[in-house]
Structure 1
Amino acid sequence: MTTTAPPEAPADCPLCPRLVEYRQENERLEPSWFNGAVPSFLPEGGEEAVRVLIVGLAPGRMGANRTGRPFTGDWAGDLLYATLLKFGLAAGEYDKRPDDSLRLKHTMVTNAVRCAPPENKPTGHETTTCRNFLSSRIEALPNLKTLVCLGKISHDSTVRALGARVAAHPFGHDTSYAIETGGRALRLRSSYHCSRYNTNTGKLTTEMFETVIGRAAADVGAA
């Protein structure tokens, strides 16, 4: 899993031409937005405090691409942060803006792809290119115990970032795998993505999502 990439992509990351073009178009239309590779949301205590890593898909155009903080400003963030607050993995109040009082506890929130893709759909090449940042992000968390992947793309990319085989660790809602990597044992949990589409269609209910996050909290003694 060793990589030479930094844990965070530069805001003006040039690696994926299609995403750069989309970012520049958003900058033209909405110059006051963040419009860049969105950095991970760290907890109180920084990297050493992280026990749980939440891995989403990519920044939403109207969400993190606008606000500069993962899952902030869109429906997915409403459900994610309410659930983290319920299980003691966050404190304060989530108010859909990066300067609210929300604080993460023992938890980091990141994305498999750091730049907003058109129609919220990164290509396979873009996901692979950004995986170096994900691998480095995982490596830089010395006390990490549990990862929670939101959606199949996040799950598959994270499995590969851990040096494991996707075929041996297939995606499913509320799946759980023990993966040995870099001399440590990690627990990999996954959920359907907490998107508006999944919740509106009933593919994911609040109760289903809370079950997965609750298990992750219990893994690290937060629930």
Structure 2
Amino acid sequence: MTEFFNEPTTEQLPHLSLNHEYLPHHFVHVLVPPTAKFNPLIIFIGDGQEQLHTIPLSRLSAHGFTIAMMAADQLTGDLHHQVGEIKSAIRFLLLHAAQFSIDTNRIFIWGEKRGADLSGMTLFTANDPEWNAEDPRVLPLRFRAGFLFGETDYSKLTAMIPSHKRPALFIYNGELDSFDEACRTQFIKAYRLQNEVQDFILKNTASGTNAFYTPYMLTIIEKQIQKHL
């Protein structure tokens, strides 16, 4: 006897498309939510391909976010060049906004460990010509906020804080991370002079672990994103 199931007939899960080549041998993976509308874009930069956290990020994407994932270990050259490659990836996504259901005016950047360092640099130098491979006047980048998970080189970020106002920053470290507390405090104090910044410590863990991507933590991140849409 045939059984019938009364399941939802609309799409429920985000679609993952892999290996979009934005530069030769440089790839970005994209999670697109099952909605027809244009969604905020989150750029997630993991420390490596094995740390892209695809499963928890797909849960977040299902709530109405296009999430592009890339690994810091595929970037090449010095710091200027790596930041330029990240911006090339973002512009590739913006130029394909219809394909990936992206609202080009609502962009967030989120990085973990080495990706956090690069995310901060990308945010601070968004349209600085020296830090862009393309002419930023043609397709300027406008970030709403940045999320740094497991940042350690706070002295470098402090030296890079622009004199003009930048987007909000949300800083997360694990209690077991190795970082200079004085440098972290100095960075937060310096950034707070002109900008919004909030910092958090997760007890009894280190960045890169699943503790940073539990449903509870993702709910907090989503609320922080919603505040800046």
TM-score, normalised to structure 1, is 0.44
Higher strand share: 2
Q: Which has the larger radius of gyration?
A: 2
Q: Which has the higher contact order (CA 8 A, sep 6+)?
A: 1
